[in-house]
């Protein structure tokens, strides 16, 4: 359901009104979109939704927090008290499908554990709501493809929450993949991780294999996506090694994964992701120089430099400005009826790589070819 219907204002009415006012010639879909806001329901009220997405929605120009979906009703008094979300816009996971009857909500942002992404996306798509989904998009490429199909069939947008691809310096690196200011790309390094669980285990879903736990799902996807957007290419094969140290804590999930991606033109990306090390560097080495960002996936923006003296200063400001930019761009894509910057197909491409990484790691580093579309 589009924002136009929510406001009771159709394109035909807009044109008629402006014609009567003698201003029809000045009207455009884009200018009308600037005055609209997409109603967003957050699905899952965990730490990321509470600490970053909800505050970021207060900074956006083109969307607003309109609904809440949670399996923890004890969280609702605080959320509703702070953001004024009415009872009619609050749902449990069990009655989430009723969102189809709610014109206040145009899009849902899925922020649940990884194993729930597909199920929640299919419900939202069937309800006629646009789907924004956190990374990783799903548990594997087959799930991701089912999500893409469902959204296509129900004529709603599906976009993945790769906030980096909305960040200015990252977008500059994406452009440099084509421009190649330092000549041919030779190799890349992409490392992403954080040192967690110093004091032992807890009930965190990131330690549970059934819920999509492990460093590769959580942080490794940053490395994969960065290697892809920094080359503008799809990797063809991978070798991976599970280098987990704290086996008593990480049972059935990876604490640290090292993997080597092979790209066309003999380009290689060496990557490490971890819950046991603090890592946050992307470097591209070329035949006549290099460029790097560290951090390359920080919440307060990315900064870096190049071998010719160029400095990439962080541009968006302190968190949660990056999340606000991401959601504003995704809202504008809906309002302007154009493709989003990061469609669901982008998430599927990363999941194909993750599938191959896990297969290689289980085979002690055997070279595994990556499925292509």
30 vs 209, which has greater pLDDT? 209
CA pair distance 134, 130, nearest whole angstrom: 14
What is the average pLDDT across 99-126? 98
Which of 331, 291, 297, 326 shows the shortest CA–CA distance to 311? 291
- Residue 259's alpha-carbon distances to 196, 231, 353, 359, in angstroms, are 21, 17, 11, 12
- pLDDT at residue 269 tops 90: yes
Q: Is the separation of the CB atoms in 53 and 31 below 8 Å?
A: no
- pLDDT at residue 304 tops 80: yes
CA pair distance 89, 105, nearest whole angstrom: 8
Neighbours of 18 (CB within 10 A): 15
pLDDT per residue over 308-344, tens digit each?
Answer: 999 999 999 899 999 999 999 999 999 999 999 999 9
Residue 34 has what pLDDT?
Answer: 55
Q: Is the separation of the CB atoms in 273 and 279 below 8 Å?
A: yes
Residue 334 has what pLDDT?
Answer: 98
Residue 203 has what pLDDT?
Answer: 67
CA pair distance 40, 329, nearest whole angstrom: 13
- pLDDT at residue 5 tops 50: no
What is the maximum span of the chain, computed from C-alpha positions, in angstroms? 73
Beta bridge partners of residue 284, listed in sequence order? 188, 291
Q: What is the pLDDT confidence band of residue 15, given thresholds at 50, 70 and 90?
A: very low
pLDDT per residue over 16-67, tens digit each?
Answer: 433 333 333 333 444 445 568 999 999 999 999 999 999 999 999 999 999 9
Strands ordered across the beta sheet of 368-369: 311-312, 304-306, 289-293, 279-286, 185-193, 268-274, 256-262, 237-242, 368-369
Residue 335 DSSP one-character state: H
- CA triple 205-58-1, angle to 5 deg: 80
Residue 204 has what pLDDT?
Answer: 87
Average pLDDT, the chain: 91
Whole-model pTM? 0.89
Residues of the chain above pLDDT 70, percent: 90
Q: Is the separation of the CB atoms in 239 and 228 below 8 Å?
A: no
Chain centroid offset of residue 305 CA: 25
- pLDDT at residue 9 tops 60: no
CA pair distance 128, 105, nearest whole angstrom: 10
Question: How many residues does the structure list for the chain?
Answer: 373
Residue 342 exposure: Cα atoms within 13 Å on the Cβ side: 30
In the three-class reduction of DSSP (H, G, I as helix; E, B as strand; rest coil), residue 110 is classed as strand
Chain centroid offset of residue 37 CA: 21
Q: What is the pLDDT confidence band of residue 159, given thresholds at 50, 70 and 90?
A: very high
CA pair distance 261, 263, nearest whole angstrom: 6
């Amino acid at each position: 359901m589009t924002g136009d219907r929510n406001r009771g204002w159709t394109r035909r009415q807009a044109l008629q009104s402006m014609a009567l006012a003698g201003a029809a010639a000045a009207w455009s879909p884009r200018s009308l979109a600037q005055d609209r806001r997409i109603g967003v329901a957050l699905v899952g009220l965990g730490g990321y939704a509470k600490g970053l997405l909800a505050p970021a929605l207060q900074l956006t120009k083109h969307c607003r927090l309109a609904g809440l979906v949670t399996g923890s009703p004890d969280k609702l008094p605080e959320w509703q008290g702070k953001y004024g979300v009415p009872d009619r816009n609050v749902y449990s996971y069990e009655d989430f499908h009723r969102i189809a009857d709610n014109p206040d909500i145009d899009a849902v942002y899925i922020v649940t554990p990884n194993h729930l992404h597909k199920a929640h996306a299919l419900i939202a798509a069937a309800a006629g709501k646009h789907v924004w989904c956190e990374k990783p998009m799903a548990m594997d490429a087959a799930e991701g493809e089912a999500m893409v199909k469902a959204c296509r069939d129900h004529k709603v947008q599906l976009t993945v929450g790769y906030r980096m691809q909305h960040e200015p310096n990252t977008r500059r690196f994406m452009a440099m993949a084509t421009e190649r200011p330092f000549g041919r790309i030779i190799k890349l390094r992409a490392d992403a991780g954080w040192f967690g669980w110093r004091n032992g285990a807890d009930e965190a879903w990131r330690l549970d294999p059934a819920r999509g736990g492990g460093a590769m799902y959580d942080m490794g996807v940053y490395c994969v996506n960065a290697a892809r957007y920094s080359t503008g290419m799809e990797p063809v094969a991978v070798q991976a090694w599970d280098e987990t140290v704290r086996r008593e804590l990480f049972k059935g999930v990876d604490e640290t994964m090292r993997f080597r991606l092979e790209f066309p033109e003999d380009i290689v990306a060496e990557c490490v992701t971890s819950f046991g090390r603090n890592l946050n560097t992307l470097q591209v080495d070329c035949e006549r120089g290099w460029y790097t960002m560290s951090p390359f996936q920080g919440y307060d923006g990315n900064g870096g430099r190049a071998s010719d003296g160029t400095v990439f200063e962080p541009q968006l400001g302190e968190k949660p400005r990056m999340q606000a930019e991401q959601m504003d761009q995704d809202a504008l894509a809906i309002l302007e009826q154009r493709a989003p910057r990061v469609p669901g197909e982008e998430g599927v491409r990363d999941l194909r790589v993750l599938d191959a990484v896990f297969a290689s790691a289980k085979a002690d580093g055997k070279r595994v070819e990556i499925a292509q579309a």
